[in-house]
Amino acid sequence: MQQDDFDHALVSAEEFSDADKQAVYRAIETRRDVRDQFLPEPLSDELIGNLLKAAHAAPSVGFMQPWNFTLVTDGKVKQRVWEAFSRANAEASDMFGEEQRALYRNLKLEGIRKAPLSICVTCDPTRGGDVVLGRTHNPRMDVYSTVCAIQNLWLAARAEGVGVGWVSIFHDDDIRDILDIPPHIEIVAWLCVGHVETLYGEPELAVKGWRQRLPLDELVFRDRWGAT
């Protein structure tokens, strides 16, 4: 089998029109993590389907596609998840020094009950069998792939006027119990999802004085670690 044998499968890679490029960059630059701006109206099945298709189009190691998406709309389930968040969040606030703790307690870090839809994104490390191409030397590649799916969904959501908020302040076992997730499945994200009319223009944590965006040029090295 030679590379040329597959040339018939190639498609055009011409660059996007200026308008299309601007749309892509606009989605990237204006995407926000949403905690409080959710509207109560449910998302249509078609819209949810489009967001999930965007997620499912993500790159994955060895084309493993290790993700699952558990859609949660049941208020009782969301309430239990919010309680799990609240317990973990109280523990989290105690981990910061006194000055930061006061600010931390004033931050809103979830929209679990307000968002009409939650999506629990999980990673199945067994998908694709014992040996997966590309994952032979770093098994974490499965989770990295799942995160790519989440980012695709997040950007597609921005284009659709839908906000997404990633909640990670839990004991995984609480979520595992609530959703009946098997022990070998890794919990990657709890996403709060809903229509939004407004978004912060900058990351909410920056607006509220928690942390600012770092200068990009300090993060880029040339030819070896640390060389700018």
Question: Is 203 an interacting residue with respect to ligand FMN (CB under 6 A)?
Answer: yes
The residue (of 77 and 104) whose beta carbon lies closer to ligand FMN is 104
CA distance 51 to 172: 24
Cα pseudo-dihedral 148, 152, 154, 160, rounded to 10: 180
- The answer to whether residues 185 and 76 touch, using CB atoms and an 8 Å cutoff, is no
Near ligand FMN in 76-95, by CB under 6 A? none
Does the footprint of ligand FMN cover residue 167 (CB under 6 A)?
yes
The stretch near ligand FMN (CB under 6 A) out of 15-23, 57-65, 68-76, 163-171 is 163-171
Beta bridge partners of 64: none
The verdict on 169 binding ligand FMN (CB under 6 A) reads yes
Residue nearest to ligand FMN (CB): 203
The upper half-sphere exposure of residue 209, i.e. CA atoms within 13 Å in the direction of its Cβ, equals 7
Cα four-point dihedral sign 49, 80, 182, 150? positive
Measure Cα distances from 223 to 119, 145, 187, 216 in Å: 40, 26, 36, 17
Shortest Cβ 80–ligand FMN spacing (Å) = 17
* By CB under 6 A, residue 69 contacts ligand FMN: no
Site map (CB under 6 A) of ligand FMN, residues 17-36, x = contact: ---------------xx-x-
Which stretch, 1-9, 60-68, 198-206, 219-227, contacts ligand FMN (CB under 6 A)?
Answer: 198-206
For residues 36 and 28, give the distance between their C-alpha atoms in angstroms, rounded to a whole number.
20
- Residues in contact with ligand FMN by CB under 6 A are 32-33, 35, 109-110, 166-169, 203-205
